[in-house]
Amino acid sequence: MDIRTLKGIGDKTAILFNKLDIYTVRDLINYYPRAYESYEAPMLIADCNEEKIITVKGRVFGKPRLAVVGRYKILSVTVQDSEGECIRLTWFNMPFLMSKLQEGSVFYFRGKMSYKGKDKVIEQPEIFTESQYKEKINQLQPVYGLTKGLSNKTLVKAVKGALKEIVPTYDYLPEGVRKKYNLTDYNTAIQEIHFPSDSEQKMNARKRLVFDEFFKFINVLSSFKEKNQYCENDFIIKRDSIIDTIIKELPFELTDAQKKVLDEIESDMSGEKCMNRLVQGDVGSGKTIVAVLAMFNTAMAGYQAAIMAPTEVLANQHYEYISGLVEKYNLPFRVSLLTGSMTAKNKRKEYERIEIGLSRIIIGTHALIQEAVSYDCLALVITDEQHRFGVRQREQLSNKGRNPHILVMSATPIPRTLAIILYGDLDISVMNQMPSERLPIKNCVVGTDYRPNAYRFIEKEVKSGHQAYVICPMVEESENIEAENVIDYCEKLKKELSQDINVEYLHGKMKPALKNQIMEDFASKKIDVLVSTTVIEVGINVPNATVMMIEDAGRFGLAALHQLRGRVGRGAAQSYCIFINTSKNKETQKRLEILNKSNDGFYIASEDMKMRGPGDFFGIRQSGDMGFNIADIYLDYEILKQASDAIQLLNKKMIEISELEESVLKEETAGWIEQASNKINL
Ligand code: ADP
Ligand code: MG
């Protein structure tokens, strides 16, 4: 059901909702509040001495006045509280309130108090009757994530309308499961998550919805797992002798972890079943070369291998690296790059090469899974930075071949026990070792007054031949401003740094070709300092960069910060990460302190989990990466286990389930696999 079917939502408002990824009534009720706010008891006018949102209980004093100023109608009225103190209230273009505000009547008025000269006024206050307001006091009011032009009030109204449309629905979760794990029914939960009666109800609602997300997730996964279990290996691929040569001539020696993982991959690919493997390794542990070698084995055996990366910049980088090696060793096949920004003509040329099997290594973004691409004999598919993709996309890529080997690479640090549940359909290789030549990154967390020192330091590093990244501060949470922001900062930095240092900027809104150009120029050292947004967060590899300076570090989650920091410390030289903290918030300082102390992704993830109490579950979450709306894989680990447990017991028929329940659940699950899976990321 389209959201435009709701009262009050026309085409214009619908576009705003679309910006929040809300298209259907179902999307809307799944758009949970970001936080809750409760209305406080009314205060005396005399007690309010600062400009803030207050509620005043007052009697209308005298008649309201309506003034017409140009096109505006300004209604104003004075109200008096129980102590006899007065305050003036005004409303723009709401003349109809006139009749409501009868002299002598009592209301609760809520709005932001401000001073006009010495007088206190409230503009545009909301009006409540006593009973209306009393009800609000006991209730938690939802606060939704908004976009420009869409107010919380509009969202609240829309959600209320949506709940009326959708609730009650049949609860797909069998009663036996709900009883066993003490879960609220769906209708209550969805109502309470938006409009909680109290905080206990809110927590219960949340638990149920978290359970649902995990339950769906695991169900979708097990469908993949089933499919994969009986997959015979149609492409038996053994190590090619060229691999030994390449390894011998690499500028470094593979770590034991890399050797082990390569072994595992090779024995999968030459074994009886086809490979379904996740390689999990911290940023900078050297996953790329392992993937590349697996691709070379495939191509040398006469088959095709494809690797999908989440950004064009990263795809491009892989392309440069791989085609460099192919050229160097004069390997008997071509390499293709496929990205969204290529011209139709160029794309067609590549499609042809891929289709006739001339290209045996194909690198790209989502463009790899587009309909027009058909492969000759796709035997290995790899997704790099898998946490940025959906299960569905991974599947789409593998559907391009007939039972190809699957390799998934991720830097998301997840404890093994969790990984087994989350990546149920995959075997797991852990690359738990950094190249030995690496010096640990030196970190510091500092305030803005340290900036001049940081700039001098960057100058020094550049003078000694290295490069630096600066992640730009955020002025406003708006995408459009982002570009301006980066450009301004870059200008400022050019003035701060010595003339001969080449500073450039990069942001998400730039044309892909320009982005690639900038990245190439940075990689080839034509640019010394790159001012950027988080577009460089994943995968980018410029080992000569030794300084990462992150402005407003507090606004990022720990996982994102760890990824950003992972852009340095990729070569033999000492690297540095400067976190600029603008927040006075103790919590933020503590979080940054965790990064300051450690460079280990697993440690950071576990500390992060320890720090987060159940109270702040609506913030930016790492598991947001995995496509969960409300669930948190660390915080809600117990619920995750329960959901996993429930599914196993259901499968073994150890939880009672009626015929009707069983068929509803089956149908739902089919629906999830069909629709939801492209939203769920691994
Ligand atoms: P990630 O695991 O984050 O994808 P990369 O594969 O991009 O990491 O590797 C990071 C950098 O480390 C690259 O410059 C790569 O050439 C280098 N590298 C990879 N393996 C080793 C190794 N065994 N010793 C030294 N450097 C290595
Ligand atoms: Mg990588």
CATH of the domain at 20: 1.10.150
pLDDT average, residue stretch 576-601: 89
Instruction: Output the six-digit token pair for 615.
Output: 């109270």
Does ligand 1 come within 6 angstroms of the Cβ of 284? Answer: yes
pLDDT value of position 478: 54
The answer to whether residues 463 and 551 belong to one domain is: yes
Does ligand 1 come within 6 angstroms of the Cβ of 196? Answer: no
For residue 289, which atom of ligand 1 is closest to its CA?
A: 6
pLDDT average, residue stretch 81-94: 93
CATH of the domain at 72: 2.40.50.140
Q: Is residue 609 part of a domain?
A: no
Does ligand 1 come within 6 angstroms of the Cβ of 286? Answer: yes
- Max mean pLDDT among 548-552, 558-562, 598-602 falls in 548-552
Instruction: Please give the backbone phi and psi of residue 502, each rounded to the nearest 5 degrees, phi first.
Output: -90, 115
Please choose from 288, 295, 325, 384 the residue to mutate so as to test ligand 1's pocket, defined by most ligand atoms within 8 A of CB.
288
The answer to whether residues 111 and 204 belong to one domain is: no
From ligand 1's centre to the CA of 335, what distance in Å? 21
Q: Is the pLDDT of residue 618 over 50?
A: no
**How does pLDDT run across 42-56, given as a tens digit for each residue?**
999 999 888 888 999
pLDDT average, residue stretch 326-345: 94
pLDDT value of position 226: 66
Please choose from 259, 282, 541, 600 the residue to mutate so as to test ligand 1's pocket, defined by most ligand atoms within 8 A of CB.
541
The answer to whether residues 218 and 254 belong to one domain is: no
Q: Are the beta carbons of 315 and 342 closer than 8 angstroms?
A: no
Does ligand 1 come within 6 angstroms of the Cβ of 204? Answer: no
Least confident of 15-19, 265-269, 419-423: 419-423
Average pLDDT, the chain: 88
Instruction: Please give the backbone phi and psi of residue 598, each rounded to the nearest 5 degrees, phi first.
Output: -140, 150
Q: Is residue 74 part of a domain?
A: yes
The answer to whether residues 50 and 109 belong to one domain is: yes
The answer to whether residues 311 and 373 belong to one domain is: yes
The answer to whether residues 90 and 216 belong to one domain is: no
Judge residue 308's burial from the number of C-beta atoms within 10 Å of its C-beta, 0-12 exposed, 13-18 middle, 19 or more buried: buried
For residue 384, which atom of ligand 1 is closest to its CA?
A: 4
Which of 401, 431, 461 terminates a domain? The answer is: 431
Does ligand 1 come within 6 angstroms of the Cβ of 570? Answer: yes
Q: Is residue 554 part of a domain?
A: yes
Q: Is the pLDDT of residue 313 over 80?
A: yes
pLDDT bracket for residue 675 (50, 70, 90): low
Q: Which residues face 120 on adjacent strands? A: 115
Q: Is the pLDDT of residue 87 over 80?
A: yes
Q: Is the pLDDT of residue 625 over 50?
A: no
- Percent of the chain surpassing pLDDT 90: 57
Ligand nearest to the CA of 436: 1
pLDDT bracket for residue 612 (50, 70, 90): low
The answer to whether residues 275 and 327 belong to one domain is: yes
Does ligand 1 come within 6 angstroms of the Cβ of 543? Answer: yes
Q: Is residue 614 part of a domain?
A: no
Instruction: Output the six-digit token pair for 452.
Output: 């001049």
For residue 286, which atom of ligand 1 is closest to its CA?
A: 6
The answer to whether residues 491 and 453 belong to one domain is: yes
Q: Is the pLDDT of residue 215 over 50?
A: yes
The answer to whether residues 552 and 425 belong to one domain is: no
From ligand 1's centre to the CA of 606, what distance in Å? 24
Q: Is residue 618 part of a domain?
A: no
pLDDT value of position 371: 80
Q: Is the pLDDT of residue 483 over 80?
A: no
pLDDT average, residue stretch 263-267: 96
The answer to whether residues 593 and 499 belong to one domain is: yes
Q: Whose C-alpha lies nearest to ligand 1, atom 24?
A: 435
Q: Is the pLDDT of residue 510 over 60?
A: yes
Q: Is the pLDDT of residue 120 over 80?
A: yes
Measured over all CA atoms, what is the biggest interatomic distance in the chain, rounded to whole angstroms? 95
The answer to whether residues 321 and 378 belong to one domain is: yes
| Tally of domains within the chain | 5
Q: Is residue 607 part of a domain?
A: no
pLDDT average, residue stretch 487-494: 92
d(CA 328, CA 301): 19
pLDDT bracket for residue 335 (50, 70, 90): very high
pLDDT value of position 185: 95
**Among 261, 260, 237, residue whose Cα is nearest residue 405:** 237
Q: Is the pLDDT of residue 19 over 80?
A: yes
The answer to whether residues 323 and 400 belong to one domain is: yes
Which of 538, 570, 598 terminates a domain? The answer is: 598
Least confident of 437-451, 597-611, 635-649: 597-611
Instruction: Output the six-digit token pair for 151.
Output: 């107010």
Q: Is residue 550 part of a domain?
A: yes
User: How is 508-526 classified by DSSP, letter by letter?
Assistant: TTS-HHHHHHHHHHHHTTS
Domain range holding 421? 232-431
CATH of the domain at 382: 3.40.50.300
- Max mean pLDDT among 62-66, 164-168, 235-239 falls in 235-239
Does ligand 1 come within 6 angstroms of the Cβ of 601? Answer: no
pLDDT average, residue stretch 263-286: 92
From ligand 2's centre to the CA of 87, what distance in Å? 62
Q: Is residue 494 part of a domain?
A: yes
Q: Is the pLDDT of residue 621 over 60?
A: no
Q: Is the pLDDT of residue 303 over 90?
A: yes
Does ligand 1 come within 6 angstroms of the Cβ of 184? Answer: no
Task: Kindly give the interhelix angle for 186-194 and 152-166, rounded to the nearest 10 degrees.
Answer: 170
**How does pLDDT run across 218-227, given as a tens digit for each residue?**
887 777 666 6
Q: Whose C-alpha lies nearest to ligand 1, atom 19?
A: 286
**How does pLDDT run across 423-453, given as a tens digit for each residue?**
777 888 988 888 888 899 999 999 999 999 9
